[in-house]
Structure 1
């Protein structure tokens, strides 16, 4: 079954509705199926933004470089898998200088409304968090806290470092303490993640939390961009449920149109669960 056939299956599930209502609903469902998520990623120079993105998502996004960051503008990278697109916005990290932080505050306030999620990377060995905390409270604020997922990066650099191929018990304990510290400092909406790209540690858990943090309309398109090992059952079921509920929300919106007669509204509500079930059933063919 292809996308067009899946759309037809959804169209068939709307057959009991007046034509103009089913057409309105299908128009919204088509827009939903082509949604292009935008994810921001921020962190101080050397926090491993490029490495993490290259590891999580299909295809190269940006070159991994040790050259110090010099751009003051967010870099945008568009990913494509088949007919699906996603944009990564590489936001400059705070704390390099007070003058730049003032400049970045305006930049962030401009970008935040357009982003579905912000991955905020903090290195496992970074102890200078006062600037991050201030920036989070003053710029992110209450309005956008729900969009931020904190990620402790380079967990293999947590003390005591060994350079080995696994994290020691002591390192894991220190990472747990770091997670608790970030929860105390930032009081984030979402649980803090910890990863090590070098050791391939924590990435599946992070992918699962990222999908849960995304707006419902964005989770499925992001899943289609993930590297295959991270498309776990948890990830896929979350996205499948999100897609079904978003399709259901389309019907709720149509049902709330003014001047819709009560009997028609009752029919819309009667078919809602069926349409949501069909949307979940055809999810694999969309994404």
Structure 2
């Protein structure tokens, strides 16, 4: 019902435009509200991929591919919240089997174009990073660096461990050094995150950075999958703005068509900001 109200408000904001323009923009809005993001999760065995996903997302998870799938077909899991879906792709960690790294290279080159984001988990106490570094620079390369968000997992295991529920000052200082090391080794596009699912530490900051890293069309449907505690004002504002600007970009694309009459172009430009503003206002009707 709220979805229909949102659609009505957006359609009303397009009044005055030629029907074919309105239809094209409404088609784009429909695609946006039904977009299914695909996020890859990679990391060595024991990095805590499942724990992180269970901590962040609220949707019911159902396997898309056979649990015994071969390496070339990584495990895919589909999450659903209401009418929104998201797919998680469990990618194998590199450096565990040199005989398979070549196969993993082919796998990643096949998968990367299809992914909206890759969460690359590195255990806080993992010091063997040479293979990861080589793989990142040689396989991920310049083309897909913007899709990778490095996450230092299991930060509570950093020395000196105290066995408590909270991280000590010394642990946080050592995690800071680990973050600096990863920035030196990988030179990532996005800031490195550090988390501890067990200590419930760093997850909110990570969720906010994840939303910032996503393509505009993917941020809102991912937000709909997050647990309520991670749908912070920062997260919702980013998704709301992305939703509005993506619709604004659809209007810009129509306006830029070479054969469109000048009067029609002028009307599109005149209503653009209003349509974007309405889209931001009704965002929560959809997500």
TM-score of the aligned structures, taking structure 1 as reference length: 0.96
Equivalent positions of 1:19-58 (< 5 A) are 19-58=19-58
What secondary structure is seen at the aligned counterpart in 2 of 1:52? helix
Partner residue in 2 for 1:173: 173
Deviations, residues 18-54 of structure 1 (Å, cap 9, x unaligned)? 1111111111111111110000000000000000001
Equivalent positions of 1:61-80 (< 5 A) are 61=61, 72=71, 73-80=73-80
- Take 1:55 and 1:158, find their aligned partners in 2: how far apart are those partners? 20
- Is 2:113 the counterpart of 1:93? no
**1:54–1:62 contact (8 Å) kept in structure 2:** no
Q: RMSD in angstroms over aligned alpha carbons?
A: 1.4
Partner residue in 2 for 1:106: 106
Partner residue in 1 for 2:158: 158
**1:42–1:119 contact (8 Å) kept in structure 2:** yes
For residues 62 and 80 of structure 1, do their structure 2 counterparts lie closer, same or farther at Cα, with a shift above 3 Å needed? closer
For residues 208 and 232 of structure 1, do their structure 2 counterparts lie closer, same or farther at Cα, with a shift above 3 Å needed? same
Partner residue in 1 for 2:126: 126
What secondary structure is seen at the aligned counterpart in 2 of 1:163? coil
Question: Tell me, which stretches of 5 or more residues in structure 1 are unaligned?
Answer: 64-68
Deviation, structure 1 residue 8: 1.1
| Stretch deviating more after TM superposition (23-32 or 127-136) | 23-32
Runs of 4+ in 1 over 4 A off after TM superposition: none
Partner residue in 1 for 2:209: 209
Partner residue in 2 for 1:197: 197
Partner residue in 2 for 1:147: 147
- Is 2:131 the counterpart of 1:136? no
Work out the number of aligned pairs and report it.
282
Deviations, residues 244-286 of structure 1 (Å, cap 9, x unaligned)? 1011011011112220011211110110000000000000111
Deviations, residues 89-147 of structure 1 (Å, cap 9, x unaligned)? 00011011111111000000000000000000000000000000000001100000000
What secondary structure is seen at the aligned counterpart in 1 of 2:92? coil
Equivalent positions of 1:219-258 (< 5 A) are 219-258=219-258
Deviation, structure 1 residue 70: 9.1
